[in-house]
Amino acid sequence: MSTIYYAKHALGNVVEGECLCASDGFSARYDLDRINGTFSRPSHKLFGQSYKDKILVLDTAKGGVASAWMLYEMKSRNIAPLAIIFNSVNPILVQGAAQGDISMLSGFTEDITQALQSGQILRVDPSKKMVEVIGGIVN
């Protein structure tokens, strides 16, 4: 049995992949080693983990405007997440997702970082504004 969560806002194409989830924020400049494709801020809950081809599930967008360029640059080198799902997003990450063609969802009735777990296989369908757990640990 699958579990589906609906977002208020969505952008991008349908993607499927492994979930990497934390109740923490996200900024491409502040948190990532973009050369190696890992979280590099020591205090980040995903420190040391690879984000390449993962569906990131995080609380909120943080910090500065650089992420708008960085998502595009990361995508060009194929060291980017497949999609990013937020409880709450700022315009920068949306602009970056639009520029970098990375799927994005935000705005859920539940805390999406608690509803989903790392290791689950997710299907993100922006046209239906939904994310579905399709494998791994099913809730």
Q: Which residues bind another protein (CB under 8 A)?
A: 9-11, 25, 27, 29-32, 40-43, 60-70, 72-73, 75-77, 88-92, 94-96, 98-99, 104
Per-residue DSSP letter, 109: S
Smallest gap from Cβ 5 to another protein, in A, equals: 18
Tell me the CB-side half-sphere exposure of residue 43, using CA atoms within 13 A. 4
Written as six digits, the tokens of 43 are 């205090």
Smallest gap from Cβ 115 to another protein, in A, equals: 19
Q: Which is nearer to another protein, 38 or 118 (CB)?
A: 38
Sign of CA dihedral 58, 44, 121, 14: positive
Do residues 120 and 137 make contact, with C-beta atoms less than 8 angstroms apart? yes
Smallest gap from Cβ 102 to another protein, in A, equals: 12
Q: Which is nearer to another protein, 29 or 45 (CB)?
A: 29
Q: Which is nearer to another protein, 3 or 40 (CB)?
A: 40
Sign of CA dihedral 53, 137, 123, 93: negative
